[in-house]
Chain A
Amino acid sequence: MKDDVESREDRTAGLKGLGCARRRVEDLRFTQGKGNYVDDIKLPGMLHGDFVRSPYAHARIKSIDASAALALDGVVAVLTAEDLAPLGLHWMPTLAGDKQMVLADGKVLFQGQEVAFVVARDRYVAADAVELVEVEYEDLPVITDPFESLKSDVVLREDLEPGADGAHGPRKHHNHIFTWEVGDKETTEQVLEEAEVVAEEMVYYHRTHPCPLETCGAVASMDKVNGKLTIYGTFQAPHAVRTVVSLLSGIEEHNIRVISPDIGGGFGNKVGVYPGYVCSVVASIVTGKPVKWVEDRMENLMSTAFARDYWMQGKIAATREGKITGLWCHTTADHGGFDACADPTKFPAGFMNICTGSYDIPVAYLAVDGVYTNKAPGGVSYRCSFRVTEAIYFIERMIEVLAIKLNVDAAELRRINFIRKDQFPYQSALGWEYDSGDYHTAWDKALAAVDYKGLREEQAQRVEDFKAGKTRKLMGVGLTFFTEIVGAGPVKNCDILGLGMFDSCEIRIHPTGSAIARLGTISQGQGHATTFAQILASEIGLPADSITIEEGDTDTAPYGLGTYGSRSTPVAGAATAMAGRKIRAKAQMIAAYLLEVHDDDVEFDIDRFVVKGAPERFKTMKEIAFAAYNQAIPGIEPGLEAVSYYDPPNMTYPFGAYVCVMDIDVDTGVPEIRRFYALDDCGTRINPMIIEGQVHGGLTEALAVALGQEIAYDDLGNVKTGTLMDFFLPTAWETPNYETDHTVTPSPHHPIGAKGVGESPHVGGVPCFSNAVNDAFRAFGLTHTQMPHDHWRIWKTANRLGLHG
């Protein structure tokens, strides 16, 4: 037999399992334009929906006249809140315990809000009809600033009972949503009072948007004969969508099938439920025909979930030697017109309480106040676990601010405050148990790789040259050490709408030794079909190339909470390994039977079970698979299948050390990234090539956010950055070269030690780019300047510091 002569190395390599830079199996269809996205779905008789949207940010709706639109040839229906009200669908619950208008019910709260839904024969007629719907508005005072909002007499949410509690406790003002407090306020304030040194800063993380290449959309198809509703949509959590639709519509869950086909990027934008989904479902129920709704780029930027918009007031206390003694943070969170944040129920500000970062901070206090304004709802985790980007940006800016106050080197300040390797598992002051880490090793490796000392010397020389008039460019060295908290999460404290945040994998081994595995997650570009097959290959000894991974169809996949917050590998990846182990356990019994030995006398060896001490006696997994289907084995059911629902015992805590070297033209405000070094520790590395791709993508989105990407509003609540001309989406042109590196600190509680990596580079990248800009001006007295660092804002900083003569 061929297997006899193959070396163990060859057999391992043949599986393409853990650690293999296996090519992405998805890319064949993607690179050939053969993907199947929502907008590719065409069903017989399908109608098309389009929205009439509010041009005003805050207005009362006096009347809606759809008669001209209805008179247009090809228009089937125009739905308004009045039409949805009898079904109770003119409002819908949000993931954050608030409710949101599906179609404007008497007033609008942000520009671009959905007012009426036109259903027509084709996409073009629908767009023409939108123009013909006449809406009479009476404009109301607009509030775009959360601090103003909390002082204003203007009541944004007239639907909420004055004085009544919100979903997260008491509301202090009619435009206030919640207060969330974590930590020890009293002790923290006492520490601040008695501290040798206190650094303070208001750190604003501006509003931006995940802006996936594919916008949001759905095709709903109600089959009135068999009572089945099928919804294809851009859903990062298809199973949760099915449950929500069932609860909202009253249609039994078994009669609803939700399918997430290929998804062209999500980054958190496709977690929530949007009015477009609800309207296409209602329109399909009303018309009895499939209805497609796909938004355009401007609609995506204006009305679907934004990210960030956190005003973080910080105080950090330290000894004169730089040992941090306490951290205090008060955040004012601008949630827009409705609270539609996508966070686990018990965490109205997500995992913002990871804001002590990678540092051993004995005491801390965090309070977050959520506020309504006349902006779009959202507040999703854009390429990060829930609000982790905000938290890490905050602490990584505060560390720099403290370093300036203490007049010490920021790298050294980090080093003396890191949680030490021997402190893990580490209990943070704000309530998390960090599972593992080795920060000092990673930091030293990073600083050595970039010749940190040399960079600082070069920078000092540059400052001299600048002062002497020899150059107009300053040099910034951006540092970041981040710790993420991903893999939500343990069902005991993580749920969304009451659904525990476990995840799942179901495996079927076919008789000839190939397999299909289905998961409760859904890839949006992460490469699940590639990497989950690798996890399984190593667990069950069948080649990854013989394993199909399928996700996104609720009729076939096991229930799971979907893909966001870097949870797929930590949770569904764990479920995959556990299901694989169940397969292996049964295979062991079959092998023992075939080899006529006791179960305990065989052991797993790469792709086979061998008799202990007699490696020439073995059965390959392929042979075992066949036996499972063609032999009557006493005491063992036929077939080889397994399913695992995995409730993680803890989150995982990936970390990383990033360094950015930037040159800044003080006259034009143009930053140029000379070098970017990224060391990531995501525990066990499943596929180094995919990790590298994820790091590049995350860093590029970080560059975007730090250097210009924003959703900006004028005083009237008009979106100023509604197209890609003004909303910065970097291309290859703007993207610098990235140097990637790694250390490996496996998660002690994850079955294969993996931690998740898709979001790390974004979480670490944003502060790193921002710190580089700030650092460039440190020698000239700058403590902190807000993002985004686009040309004119950098120019303004230089101007304010008197660098333009």
Chain B
Amino acid sequence: MIPAPFEYYRPREMAAVLALLAEHGDEARVMAGGHSLIPMMKLRMAEVPHLIDLQDVEGLSGITVSGGEIRLGAMVTQAEIIDSKELAQAAPILREAALQIADPQVRAMGTVGGNVANGDPGNDMPGLMQCLGARFTLVGPEGEREVAARDFYEAAYMTERDDDEVLTAVAFAVPEGGYAYEKQKRKIGDYATAAAAVQIRREGASCAAASIAMTNLSDTPVWSEAAAEALVGTELGPEAIEAAVTAMLAEIDPSEDNRGPVEFKRHAAVVILRRAIARAWSRA
């Protein structure tokens, strides 16, 4: 559990980060909380000759809620999300999800930016951000651009972000209606066997809008537009829920691991989604 040798940098400005990335190309990587990256380096599954720590870089922190928009700096930790009163008000699904990530020690270090940039299908925030329709701000040599969370993930550890870009912020509209983040895991500190992020807006007796994303059930998060659509316009009776679940099942593609075989995961996905929908609806 000793990583290969590496150079360590701790710049204060984004320009310096970008310069290091430009200089060392794919030999360099940024590090946020380090709680995904360092284990990989220690296992020697990731070799990073030039490690650029983002801790001291200005402009990457802070949670702001204004004008119906929420913005999280990339370096906002999961612990900060849990502690933020503003966020608990504006987007309680974030707190509910963050509390189910890892353990308190890891959450004190792990960041939103690292979690969504990592590209590990096990991470909880990518699916959550897809559910919320978030946008990621990327800064690179060519300047700044925004990519929708729903377009960001290509395959396991493969994202829209270029190697020389840094993710600086995550932004999304203040979500409306009921919410739920439901996750089955084997123990604290475990990635999901199956997890579902659900937001539902209710008008009168029926569902006006919905968004559903599933985690760790494919090599990317699965935002299931069809599942959400199956709910919209209904009163969430058994048939609508059945239709949503069927739509979701058509889009996930779990693989077997120590959490269980595929058939179990598909079943767990159904149970978890049903529970998430029920809870979100009860809060809508």
Taking Cβ atoms with an 8 Å cutoff, the residues of A that contact B are 123-124, 127-128, 131, 296-298, 667-670, 708, 712, 720-721, 725-726, 728, 730-731, 733-734, 790-792, 795-796, 799, 804
Contact = CB atoms under 8 A, between A and B. Distances in A.
Given A128-B2, A670-B184, A708-B186, 15 more contacts: A127-B2, A667-B271, A668-B184, A669-B264, A712-B258, A721-B258, A728-B186, A728-B187, A731-B187, A731-B189, A791-B184, A791-B186, A791-B259, A792-B261, A792-B264
B85 interface: no
For the residues of A in contact with B, the DSSP-based class is: loop
Contacts of A721: 258
Contacts of A668: 184, 268, 271-272
For the residues of B in contact with A, the DSSP-based class is: loop
A730 B193 contact: no
Interface of B: 1-2, 4-5, 44, 103, 184, 186-191, 193, 258-261, 264, 267-268, 271-272
Contact of B264 (A297, A298, A796): A796
Contacts of B271: 667-668
Contacts of B267: 667, 795, 799, 804
B258 A298 contact: no
A72 to B, nearest CB: 11
Contacts of A725: 189-191
A131 B4 contact: yes
Given A128-B5, A298-B1, A712-B258, A731 B264 contact: no
B252 to A, nearest CB: 16
A721 to B, nearest CB: 6
B258 A124 contact: no
A730 B5 CA distance: 33
Contacts of A792: 193, 259-261, 264
A790 B4 CA distance: 35
Contacts of B188: 731, 733-734
A694 B184 CA distance: 31
A386 B193 CA distance: 36
A792 B186 CA distance: 10
B51 to A, nearest CB: 15
A799 B266 CA distance: 13
Contact of A791 (B1, B4, B193): B193
A211 to B, nearest CB: 14
B258 A720 contact: yes
Contacts of B187: 708, 728, 730-731, 733-734
B103 A790 contact: no
A712 B258 CA distance: 9
Contacts of B44: 131
Given A131-B44, A670-B184, A728-B186, A795 B5 contact: no
Nearest to B270: A667
Contacts of A127: 2
A730 B188 CA distance: 8
A128 B47 CA distance: 12
A190 B148 CA distance: 75
19 contacts: A124-B5, A127-B2, A128-B5, A296-B1, A667-B271, A669-B264, A708-B186, A712-B258, A721-B258, A730-B187, A731-B189, A733-B103, A733-B187, A790-B186, A791-B184, A791-B193, A792-B193, A792-B259, A795-B260
Nearest to B259: A792
A669 B187 CA distance: 13
A128 B258 contact: no
B2 A123 contact: yes
A277 to B, nearest CB: 20
A721 B190 CA distance: 13
A317 B80 CA distance: 62
Contacts of A728: 186-187
A731 B103 contact: yes
A207 B74 CA distance: 43
